[in-house]
Amino acid sequence: MRKKITLKQIAKELDVSISTVSKALRNSIEISEDTREKVQAFAKLYNYRPNNIALSLKNRKTKTIGVIIPEIVHHFFAKVIRGIELVANRRGYNVIVGLSNESFDKEVINMQMLANGSIDGFILSISKETLQQQDYHHFNETISQGMPIVMFDRVVNDIICDKVIIDDMKGSKNAVNKLLNNGCKHVAIITTKDYVSVGRLRTQGYLEALEDHKMIPNSNLILKVDDELLSEDHLDSLEDEIEGLFKRNKNIDGIFAVNELYAIIAMKVARKLNMKIPDDIQVIGFTDGVLSKHATPSLTTVSQHGQEMGEKAADLLIDKLEHEEDEERFQTVVIETNLIERESTK
């Protein structure tokens, strides 16, 4: 059976744009007769059949952006959505938000449902299960049919599209340097499993900071948490794991956590063990959320600038939708982080 051909493949073979192929297949008078005949003959030879994604993009603009996020309660994603909506509304677009709930299947279903005539393009952050499985077919299929995607925060290099990220490695390195410069000698990290790209990069920043200070990493000070412990039903188990980290390393005087929740629970455990913050132990968390400001003591954090990330992602997507180019160009925008100092550090 002959493999199904896409608009993108036809465009590449004939050295024209996807837009030209789409218009030629619809007999648009904007395209020369010679080009129309050539495109239509090629499409007929390879039995091309347009799908709903291509039709929704090329035949009728919905002026709507689809946003898919891994979780809804996370303060960071709420900030990103706010940024997307600000730009989208200003530029005359609506926003539909879908939730993958960290599930590969839900991510695929959301994309299929929204792409079926509902939206013009996607802004998304990849679910943990998708990253774990390394199955990205649904992104490639969507892009191949001419529907643009902008990825933010959790991205993969294998997908050729626009991306908006922060410098996770540099942000974490600065945070750990802060702890070391404040006099901490035994800094632990509470992080994710390595398949989550942002956790892996933040762990690398931690290791680089230790190296810069001529300190040898201690595997006993690195706690990689299973995702299942992040659910509300398993937070007690997460607390037990972090308490175990403290009890195995009684000389810990600094904690760097790759997200806000890990940091808040680490402070709770420290108080439970009668440690004074920041006198006995200093704590920094990644992501500046509501909990950080209102914790006791308040938490020093690395700010990800979620709203700015959302604004930039929306501008990139809408620019793609409104300014079609014969030569596709993609960019990765890196947004700088900054350290917000509060009471959990000296």
Give the chain's domains with CATH numbers: 7-50 (no CATH), 59-166+307-336 (3.40.50.2300), 168-304 (3.40.50.2300)
- 276 touches 282 (CB < 8 A): no
For residue 203, pLDDT beyond 70? yes
Per-residue pLDDT of 11-63, as tens digits, reads 889 999 887 887 888 788 888 999 999 999 998 888 886 654 444 444 567 89
Please give the pLDDT value at position 1.
36
Confidence of residue 219 (pLDDT cuts 50, 70, 90): very high
Tokens of 342: 């509060």
Which value, in Å, is the radius of gyration of the alpha carbons in the chain? Answer: 24
Tokens of 262: 């890990």
Per-residue pLDDT of 56-115, as tens digits, reads 444 567 899 999 999 987 889 999 999 999 999 999 999 999 999 999 999 999 998 998
Which of 134, 127, 199, 137 lies closest to 168 in space, CA to CA?
199
From CA 284, how far away is CA 296, in angstroms rounded?
Answer: 13
From CA 166, how far away is CA 173, in angstroms rounded?
Answer: 13
Confidence of residue 235 (pLDDT cuts 50, 70, 90): confident
Which of 102, 149, 152, 155 lies closest to 127 in space, CA to CA?
102
If you average pLDDT over residues 284-290, what whole number do you get?
92
Which of 318, 25, 27, 313 lies closest to 145 in space, CA to CA?
25
By mean pLDDT, which of 225-234, 244-253, 256-265, 334-343 is the weakest?
A: 225-234
pTM for the model stands at 0.79
Please give the pLDDT value at position 236.
87
DSSP state of 1: -
Query: What DSSP assignment string belongs to 135-167?
Result: --HHHHHHHHTT--EEEESS--TTS-SEEEEE-
Please give the pLDDT value at position 2.
46
Please give the pLDDT value at position 229.
57
What is the chain's mean pLDDT, rounded?
90
Angle at 292 between CA 287 and CA 294, to 5 degrees: 160
The full length of the chain comes to 346
| Phi, psi for residue 146 in degrees, rounded to 5 | 95, 10
Which of 101, 94, 81, 151 lies closest to 333 in space, CA to CA?
151
> How many other CB atoms are there within 10 angstroms of residue 180's CB atom?
17
The three-state secondary structure class of 100 is coil
E-strand ranges in the chain read 64-69, 94-99, 121-124, 149-152, 162-166, 187-192, 222-225, 254-257, 282-286, 300-303, 332-335, 338-340
If you average pLDDT over residues 282-309, what whole number do you get?
95
For residue 149, pLDDT beyond 80? yes
From CA 204, how far away is CA 199, in angstroms rounded?
Answer: 9
Question: Which one has a higher pLDDT value, 45 or 4?
Answer: 45
- 122 touches 320 (CB < 8 A): no
Angle at 82 between CA 81 and CA 86, to 5 degrees: 115
Tokens of 2: 């002959």
Report percent pLDDT > 70 for the chain. Answer: 92
Q: Residue 318 class from Cβ within 10 Å (0-12 exposed, 13-18 middle, 19+ buried)?
A: buried
DSSP state of 218: -
Please give the pLDDT value at position 228.
66
If you average pLDDT over residues 161-176, what whole number do you get?
97
From CA 302, how far away is CA 260, in angstroms rounded?
Answer: 9
If you average pLDDT over residues 196-200, what whole number do you get?
88
* 130: Cβ contacts below 8 Å, ≥ 6 apart: 100, 104, 107, 136
Please give the pLDDT value at position 4.
64
Question: Which one has a higher pLDDT value, 135 or 26?
Answer: 135
